[in-house]
Amino acid sequence: MKNNIKLNPLVESAMFAALAVIVIIATTYLPAFYFIGIIVLPLPFAFVYIKHNFKYAALALATAILISIPFGDLFTAISLGLTYGIVGIVMVYCFKNDESVLNTIIFMAVVVFLSTILVYKISVLITGKDVLQVTAKEISNIIQKYKGVYESHGASSSKINTLLDENNMVYIMKMIMPGTTFVFSIVSTYFSYRFSTSIFKKFNYTLKEVKPISNWYLEPQISIVLLIFVTISFILAAVKGERGDIYIYNSFLIFTFAFSMTGLGVISFLFERTKMKNVYKNILLIIILLSPLNNILFFVGMTDYIFDFRKLDPRRKRYK
């Protein structure tokens, strides 16, 4: 009887490791499945951790990575498995320590962000090839191939030649990489947390619910951190000279993203006031996000932060 009890966690860990292997392989070979894959991948390891303990979660993670390696390349298996396995473990760690939803998603996002940057740096060291350089060369070849087509549609030769400059293209990619990676980390972990919450609920594990979009607002502590971040970026830009625009661009990207999400919350709130059905509301929010209309979100969010139209900030209510 004792042996059976000891084996149960191992068997369950092995089952979840096998599930993770399937997700890793599908994510590796099916580009269209990538975003879904990274949302789902933290769940098997999170499940082992929440049901048993860290030891079994770490064992499931190591097993999944080792089994995945023969089915793909070593680097992809390790980077995907390790990054999103740790994300799942961090999510449950935060749950066990009663962290807020916001802190949990930020901690998860930091793991993805640091892992992505680390994987990029290690890949350059191991392979001797810069992924960004290779990508820039491929884009340059495509532009060169269709140069005549672009010119016939009114594109000037000077602009096309600028795009054909691989060094300039790599510089632009490196300039936007930190900020876009961080935003991607926040978005992917947000969806991963929401997906995990709905799955855990079916097994009687209740994670803290994410606030409805209409209740999103920027807390003062975060806004202060963002302002400090932007200020430091200006100082670094002044010190670094030519390359200083990298710091300014990335700080403003993250700053704009934060207030734009607040703006999205305001728009969602206004839609709810009209008693709009959730389906229509969500469709309209997606359209706004994917269209040029998304430019107004930052200004809407900034205005709401200043005036607190929705009366969501409890700190302001104390002084009324």
How is the chain split into domains, by residue range?
Answer: 1-128+182-204, 211-320
Neighbouring residues of 205: CB distance < 8 A, sequence distance ≥ 6: 50
Chain segment 207-231, per-residue pLDDT in tens: 899 989 999 888 888 888 888 988 8
Distance from C-alpha of 320 to C-alpha of 301, rounded to nearest angstrom: 22
| 16, 304, 317, 319 from 300: Cα distances, Å | 44, 6, 21, 24
3-state secondary structure of 33: helix
The rounded percent of the chain whose pLDDT value lies above 70 is 88
Q: Are 75 and 121 in contact (CB under 8 A)?
A: no
Which of 45-59, 152-166, 171-185, 303-317 is predicted least confidently?
152-166
Q: Which residues contact 114 (CB under 8 A, 6 or more apart)?
A: none
Q: 147 CB contacts (<8 Å, ≥6 apart)? A: 160, 164
pTM of the predicted structure, to 2 decimals: 0.84
How big is the CA angle at 42 (ends 40 and 47), to the nearest 5 degrees? 105
The pLDDT confidence band at residue 269, using thresholds 50, 70 and 90, is very high
241 has pLDDT over 70: no
Residue 198 CA to residue 40 CA, distance in Å, equals 12
Read off φ and ψ for residue 28, nearest 5 degrees: -70, -45
- CA dist list (Å): 268 to 124, 215, 216, 278, 280: 43, 9, 9, 10, 11
**Count of other CB atoms within 10 angstroms of residue 318:** 7
